[in-house]
Amino acid sequence: MYETLNYVVIILLAIWGVANHGDDARARDDFKVGVAVEDITPPVGMRVGGNYVSPVSTGVHDPLVAKAIVFEQGGVKAALVVCDLTGISLDLSNLVRKAASKATEIPVAHIIISATHTHGAPQYQGPIRDLEHANEIAAKGKDAHESIDYTAFAADRCVRAIEHANALLKPAAIDVGAVDQPGLAFNRRFHMKNGYVRFNPGKKNPEIVRVAGPVDTELPILVVRDPAGGKPRASLVAFAMHVATYGGPEWGADFPAHLETGLRKEFGPDFVSIFGEGTAGDINHIDVSNDAPQPSATEPARIGAALTSTVLKAIPGLKPVDTPSLAARSAIVQLPIEDVTDEQVARALDVFLRKVTPTPDFYLLVESHRILEVRDRRKQFGDSEPAEVQVIRIGSDTAIVSLPHEVFVELGMAIKKASPFKHTFVLSLAQDADYYVPTRKAFAEGSYEVVTCPLKPGCGEALVETAVGLLKGLKP
Ligand SMILES: [Zn+2]
């Protein structure tokens, strides 16, 4: 399973839109922050994504929103948008970054679009969406479950959020810190008695031998205040746990929405809480060590309340960012794509069209999905996909890293360990689709996440190397 791959790393020196100030702000310049939120709730009746069969949404449990935070110092600007979506399609992020950059002059390379990974969000991208959409049109002449072009709609709203946040830029103080958040996140991969590794084996499964990977309990927190001891107006946390505790069929934003509700009780209704999903590819909320039920109807509130309490307790202990000095960098790393044959593609399509069996088993669907994803990626990119890694430096001790896809926790932990910044926020699910990026070790072990991945082993380690390179290059 192991192979040596040659990755071509192209460091884009963030040459887009570099004005006289260049890319790095000077510490003596005022640090400004703007925050804005736009609604991206799809019409009820659109299909819900995140699974291998897409149910139709029946209502709105929580509005879905896009939250934008724009940073500015000495003419350097950077933007982060986190959407209540399961994943971001490359089409969506490309549209947003291009249009937002044109409207605000924030360089494309300085704009990160990522998803919280809520599973209460629309099915708008990828091979399953394409098949379901095509089937509906073939059967009925139109797709009643896509009454709008969701990509265009969400892109427009994300651009508006960035424009609005940019217009609201005002001097801000930033406090930062990291605390431990135990008891919520669990590694979901286990070595089993039969010698295999299995994901989500079920509570109290007697076949479990031991857990196959770690948990990252660190919760980095950044709070934006009005200068000189003003009230907090926004926060950013990055936590490595799957946002998949909510189960539709109504639109839902899962526990990040409960975290915001909790913080608003303390800081007022205008407070914006931005939750970035950390590297949570192999991490979720299921504690297999007991058999207590964890119903999707109540888990989002429980987890949101626990995070709220942790953040509120941590805020008085946060310290001002050391030497605010805004800078941003982006790099593209070429990740080799798996191979597929025409026969495999034909069979995968038959699986989804229920021609192989009327009730395909889970792994047959997952495998077939990967084959179609590989086909689509190869059509678009050839042998390797250009994966983008980005870093926004806030100050000499604080940086935000974003990675595409659903990255395994070990990889995010490796980035933090090697990072020269004391506080490194690692966000996944940025810019491109939500499939897993396992470690080389996990590729060798197999199981669900590995079966989803259209990339070759080594993809995760290449992301780490690229991120660490960017971070080291940005350390003042
Ligand atoms: Zn996931």
The DSSP code sequence of 127-181 is HHHHHHHHHHHHHHSS-TT-SS-HHHHHHHHHHHHHHHHHHT-EE-EEEEEEEE-
CB contact at 8 A, 34 and 167: yes
What pLDDT does 13 receive?
35
Q: How many CB atoms lie within 10 A of CB 225?
A: 21
What residues are paired with 10 via a beta bridge? Answer: 332
For ligand 1, the distance from its centroid to the CA atom of residue 396, given in whole angstroms, is 32
Q: Is residue 211 part of a domain?
A: yes
What pLDDT does 253 receive?
98
Q: Is residue 347 part of a domain?
A: no
Distance of alpha carbon 423 from alpha carbon 85, whole angstroms: 26
What pLDDT does 163 receive?
98
For ligand 1, the distance from its centroid to the CA atom of residue 117, given in whole angstroms, is 7
Strand order in the sheet with 197-199: 197-199, 189-192, 208-211
For ligand 1, the distance from its centroid to the CA atom of residue 311, given in whole angstroms, is 24
CB contact at 8 A, 116 and 253: yes
Q: Is 200 left (phi over 0), alpha (psi -120 to 50) or beta?
A: left
For ligand 1, the distance from its centroid to the CA atom of residue 80, given in whole angstroms, is 21
For ligand 1, the distance from its centroid to the CA atom of residue 53, given in whole angstroms, is 15
For ligand 1, the distance from its centroid to the CA atom of residue 432, given in whole angstroms, is 13
Q: Is residue 105 part of a domain?
A: yes
Distances in Å between the Cα of 439 and the Cα atoms of 99, 200, 342, 366, 462 are 35, 18, 28, 19, 10
Q: Is residue 373 part of a domain?
A: no
Half-sphere exposure of 247 (CA within 13 A, CB side): 7
CB contact at 8 A, 251 and 62: yes
| Structural domain of 451 | 9-337+383-474
Helix or strand run (H / E) with residue 344 = helix 342-352
What pLDDT does 12 receive?
39
Residue 5's SS3 state is: coil
Residues 117-142: b if buried by 16+ CB within 10 A, e if exposed: bbbbbbbbbbbbbebbbeebeeeeee
For ligand 1, the distance from its centroid to the CA atom of residue 139, given in whole angstroms, is 31
Quick one: CA torsion of 18, 20, 23, 28, rounded to 10 degrees?
-150
Q: CB within 8 A of 316, min separation 6: which ones? A: none
Diameter over CA atoms, the chain:
66
- What is the rounded radius of gyration, in angstroms, for the C-alpha atoms of the chain? 21
What residues are paired with 187 via a beta bridge? Answer: 283
Q: Is residue 366 part of a domain?
A: no
For ligand 1, the distance from its centroid to the CA atom of residue 324, given in whole angstroms, is 34
| Cis check: omega of the bond before 320, within 30 degrees of 0 | no
Distance of alpha carbon 88 from alpha carbon 74, whole angstroms: 30
Q: Is 280 left (phi over 0), alpha (psi -120 to 50) or beta?
A: alpha
Q: Is residue 368 part of a domain?
A: no
Return per-residue pLDDT of the chain as tens, 476 residues. 333 333 434 333 333 333 334 466 666 679 999 999 999 999 999 999 988 888 999 999 999 999 999 999 999 999 999 999 999 999 999 999 999 999 999 999 999 999 999 999 999 999 999 999 999 999 999 999 999 999 999 999 999 999 999 999 999 999 999 999 999 999 999 999 999 999 999 999 999 999 999 999 999 999 999 987 788 999 999 999 999 999 879 999 999 999 999 999 999 999 999 999 999 999 999 999 999 999 999 999 999 999 999 999 999 999 999 999 999 999 999 999 999 999 999 999 999 888 888 999 999 999 999 999 999 999 999 999 999 999 999 999 999 999 999 999 999 999 999 999 999 999 999 999 999 999 999 999 999 999 999 999 999 999 999 999 999 999 98
User: Is the whole model's pTM more than 0.85, yes or no?
Assistant: yes
Number of domains the chain contains: 1
Q: Is residue 372 part of a domain?
A: no
Q: Is residue 363 part of a domain?
A: no
What pLDDT does 194 receive?
97
Listed residue (81, 35, 112) closest to 272, CA to CA: 35
CB contact at 8 A, 57 and 251: yes
For ligand 1, the distance from its centroid to the CA atom of residue 281, given in whole angstroms, is 6
For ligand 1, the distance from its centroid to the CA atom of residue 321, given in whole angstroms, is 32
CB contact at 8 A, 73 and 326: yes
Helix or strand run (H / E) with residue 232 = strand 232-239
